[in-house]
Amino acid sequence: MSSADQSALKRALDAYDQGDLKTSEPLLLDLAVRFPASYQANEALGSLYAESERTDVALPYLRRACAVAPHEAVAHANLGAAYLKLNKPAEAIVELRIALKSDPKNAATQSNLGQALMLKAQPAEAAKAFAAASALQPADATVQYNLALALFDAGSIKEAKAALDRIPAAAANDQTDSLAGDIEEKLGDFQQAIAHYQAAAKSNPSDANLYALTIELMRHWTWDEAVTMADFGTSRYPASKHFEVAKGIAQFGGQHYPEAVVTFSDLLQKEPENALYADLLGRSCSAIAEDASAQCNGLSEFAHRHPENAQAATFAAVSLLHRPSAEQDKPEVKRLLDQAIAADPKLPEAHFQLAVLEQSQTQWLESVAPLKRAIELRPTYPEAHYRLSRAYAHLGKKDEAQQEIALQQKYTQQAKDTVNTHLQEVVTFLVKSN
């Protein structure tokens, strides 16, 4: 560079340091173009672009700075930070680790490395980086939160709690409360978890915080409170369907089956091809012992469109069987059950409902075979054992009838546990899909 160019570089760097980007940018751009081997011009111009959210434009200059001065830690640190902004964690990790070899006590670089490792789903390694950053800047609440989050994701729950507890109360926010709720839930303290989720929702009634509180209530089967919270979530975020799904699950869990039918029927009408909504509607309709709601009609329509879905066809048949006798379309019930068995011959409910249909027409002998098949597929099926006992009683086989009654009584509690397990599985699904 000539003395004039060196003076221009100094003016550009001084202006950049003072935040005068209008003055520094054109000077730096001119120098970087004319002097591609100038580390200072390329590094400063790349940093200027990165700081002004023009990260993609910054990359060529930051790369050139690293190529010109490969041992400059700041060059690799800035390039790594740029890659992180562009959501390129693999590239960021490479550059940030190079920077840390020369400058291991740079808290910002350690923190950036932790964030990049989190994006690459390496929370245990991220925790090491955040721990190093925290040791360098112990008063930085954001770094401490990130350390706690990384430890939590790595499965180090007690260590995560200890890290989070080091954040002063004055620096707490809805994020720290939400993470604290997750930690307490993992540690088995339901009451503390609820308190933290409530604090997060009160501090910031965002969609995510309200939904987390709703799910936490559902996790522990506090159904009525979950319905209330889901309604509140829907009132604030009407476009978020997950509140409606959670509400329906909570209504079902609280044995408010007609209300659950209304909720899932509305959801299925909005998304007619949604198999989850059809399944949940079917379970709710099946739980209504008689006079099934007209809102269960959507099940038959769904089953007709999806002949491969055996469970949907079975639920549709059950909803028809639950109507008053005069309104039952038994040929349609038979067609739906045949469809279900064709789609999945190993679905015990379909064979069982076929037997229910036959018994409703006093075809006791004909009902024995499908009941035996249902029991073969699920030996702990109490309703099937009960129906088989009725068939044997009508056929004069008293001993066999008594044996089936005994089995029905034996397996009744297991059936309740199965329903509860399914509820828990659905809640888990909602948590994972959030």
- In angstroms, rounded to a whole number, what is the distance separating the alpha carbons of residues 132 and 126? 10
pTM: 0.78
In degrees and rounded to multiples of 5, residue 167 shows phi and psi of -80, 125
Q: Is pLDDT of 108 > 80?
A: yes
pLDDT in tens, 111-148: 999 999 999 999 999 999 999 999 999 999 999 999 99
| Under 8 Å between Cβ of 212 and 181 | yes
pLDDT band of 51, cuts 50, 70, 90? confident
pLDDT of residue 292: 62
Could you tell me the pLDDT band of residue 432, with boundaries at 50, 70 and 90? Answer: low
25 pLDDT higher than 80: yes
Tokens at 221, concatenated:
């089967």
**Domains of the chain, residue spans:** 358-434
The backbone region for 167, taken as left when phi is positive above 0, alpha when psi lies in -120 to 50, beta otherwise, is: beta
Instruction: Write down the CATH number for the domain with range 358-434.
Output: 1.25.40.10
CB contact at 8 A, 314 and 336: yes
Tell me the pLDDT tens digit for each residue of 156-195.
999 999 999 999 999 999 999 999 999 999 999 999 999 9
Average pLDDT for residues 67-88, to the nearest whole number? 94
Token pair 């001084």 is at which residue?
A: 14
At residue 322 the predicted structure's pLDDT band, cuts being 50, 70 and 90, is confident
Alpha carbon distance 320, 312 (integer Å): 13
Assign 166 to helix, strand or coil. Answer: coil
Residues 6+ apart with CB under 8 A from 337: 313, 314, 317, 350, 353, 354, 357
CA 211 to chain centre: 11
Q: Write down the pLDDT at residue 295.
A: 83
Which amino acid type is present at position 27?
Answer: L
- The full DSSP string for 355-403 is HHHHHHTT-HHHHHHHHHHHHHH-TT-HHHHHHHHHHHHHTT-HHHHHH
pLDDT-based confidence at 2, cuts 50/70/90?
A: confident
Mean pLDDT of 414-426: 68
